[in-house]
Amino acid sequence: MHNILELRHITKEFPGVRALNDVSAAFREGEVHAIVGENGAGKSTLMKVLSGAYVPDSGEIVVNGTSFAHMTPQRAHELHIEIVYQEFNQFATLTVAENIFTGDLKGSALWIDRQGMERETEALFERMQVRIDPKAYVRELSVAEQQLVEIGRAIHRGAKVLVMDEPTAPLTVREVDILFQLVRRLRQEGTTVIYISHRLEEIFALADRVTIMRDGRVVDVRGIEGLTREDLIAGMIGRSISDMFPRRTVTPGEPVFEVRHLWGNGDQDIHFALRKGEILGIAGLVGAGRTELARLLFGADPIEKGEVLMEGRPLRIRTPKDALGAGIAYASEDRKRDGLFLGLPVDRNIASASVGRFCTFGIVNDRKQTAVVKEEIEKLRIATPSLRQLVKNLSGGNQQKIVLAKWLISDVKVVIFDEPTRGIDIGAKQEIYRIMNEMTESGISIIMISSEMEEVLGMSDRILVLYEGRQMGVLEKAAFSQEAVMTLASGYPAGSEQRGTEEMRE
């Protein structure tokens, strides 16, 4: 088998980060080649280099023996390199067929051959063995169907190399199955599939070879035979899990925050009690209703029925202001959208949720604010040249610390973290974990939503697992295991691990 695509010594730097450091990788014709690595390992950057979205600082890309200094989206298309992104590039208000044919609509300048496109789309879907109506509007499709349309478009364009970025992240177990079958069929037809994922089960189920990345470098390239889970993890993290997470030093105390039979936002009958100083992990697949739960508790979306109690007293939460008043804070998964004021300086960001603290008669006492903010910056070791630095100029890890600082000074009792370490590098991650630990030591309770299995298992005292808006169970520390969480997250009741795991693999 010859190499259809090769990356040679690719380096790409961003201000302050070497996202790719002398990366070389070769992809053979008709193989499923997995690229694995933690968040921030450089997988996505590598993909963007392949798609032509980024121009590498040095290195070359060799396609079928022809060398290029960099790709452009146009060139990638001509060379039949197609990419299915995590965020789909689709036109929600157009039909499935029109989306498939984006860029080369059938027909003449004045007249579009709608029926022809629909016929061809149908034929394409038949080949893929999926059932989607070509006339449907993309906005009406489920996430899984949208993804299949995206893959269909790539096949329609004659993909020889298909790059998929975390394709199963939004899918349910059954949908993952359909996707896997499709990927295997593509491989049979001689398509090279580059499969980016951090879900290890999938890699064992699909891949022929694996490239492991860490901190912008390629650590190892291995055939799947003889490879173990432990090898992969060791390669990805570069150390064993036990070093990654600080030891939990807090013994959770009395229940402080209780949620009783809560409904709303698609979530049904959520019921738990959070203890003082506890970290309650919330696990589940994308779309299981985790963020929805957080938004309910924080008053960002309306509660339909059920009770929320703080220290035994029932709360009326209708707006985020109510929630904050009761001592509940929310650090969203998209900190740039929901948590930070990127165009404002560090001090204003940290003080934004507690300006009132520094005010007399509505007038801000800058000195008081500066003192508190400075203390927090030192405590959390936020690396910033000054208090006046604009937050958009800081790294992801420091930005996340600013969100933490914002809540720390605002006198909260419960903090809901949604994907607290998304998109930040490993060193900063460990610091975030350390800060979370310190928060619980000072009596704050934490609800932590996370998609990273290691993180949920490593940081939580208990884990609540959601599946399609329903609470599948709460795992105690003694019952923690990746299998137990995955079983519940896939919609199987506790105790059916065996069946769940089998389903995952096939």
The site for other proteins (CB under 8 A) is made up of 298, 300, 320-321, 323-325, 330, 332, 337-344, 348, 351-353, 355-356, 359, 362-364, 392, 406
Looking at the chain, the number of H-run helices and the number of E-run strands are 18, 22
Closer to other proteins by Cβ: residue 374 or 505: 374
- Quick check: 416 and 449 in contact, CB under 8 A? yes
Closer to other proteins by Cβ: residue 284 or 396: 396
CA–CA gap between residue 204 and residue 225 (Å, rounded)? 9
Scanning the structure block, which residue is given the tokens 């490593």? Answer: 458
Closer to other proteins by Cβ: residue 89 or 319: 319
Q: Count other Cβ atoms within 10 Å, centred on residue 189.
A: 10
Cβ at position 358, least distance to other proteins in Å:
8
Residue 314 CB-density burial (10 A; 0-12 exposed, 13-18 middle, 19+ buried) = exposed
Cβ at position 456, least distance to other proteins in Å:
23
CA–CA gap between residue 416 and residue 371 (Å, rounded)? 26
Closer to other proteins by Cβ: residue 301 or 454: 301
87 contact partners, CB below 8 Å, separation of at least 6: none
Cβ at position 332, least distance to other proteins in Å:
7
**DSSP assignment, residue 345?**
B
Closer to other proteins by Cβ: residue 194 or 300: 300
Residue 416 CB-density burial (10 A; 0-12 exposed, 13-18 middle, 19+ buried) = buried
Backbone φ and ψ of 399, nearest 5°:
-60, -45
Closest CA to 436 of 476, 401, 396, 477: 401
Q: Are strands 328-331 and 414-418 parallel, antiparallel or unpaired?
A: parallel
Closer to other proteins by Cβ: residue 311 or 338: 338
Closer to other proteins by Cβ: residue 29 or 338: 338
Q: Are strands 209-214 and 217-223 parallel, antiparallel or unpaired?
A: antiparallel
Cβ at position 13, least distance to other proteins in Å:
13
Closer to other proteins by Cβ: residue 94 or 344: 344
Q: Tell me the C-alpha to C-alpha distance, in Å, between residue 264 and each of 72, 127, 267, 284.
A: 45, 40, 5, 17
Cβ at position 322, least distance to other proteins in Å:
9
Cβ at position 14, least distance to other proteins in Å:
9
Q: What is the DSSP string of 127-139?
A: HHT----TTSBGG
CA–CA gap between residue 481 and residue 503 (Å, rounded)? 17
Cβ at position 325, least distance to other proteins in Å:
8
Q: Are strands 209-214 and 462-467 parallel, antiparallel or unpaired?
A: unpaired
401 contact partners, CB below 8 Å, separation of at least 6: 380, 381, 382, 428, 431, 432, 435
Cβ at position 83, least distance to other proteins in Å:
20
Closer to other proteins by Cβ: residue 112 or 344: 344
Closer to other proteins by Cβ: residue 81 or 340: 340
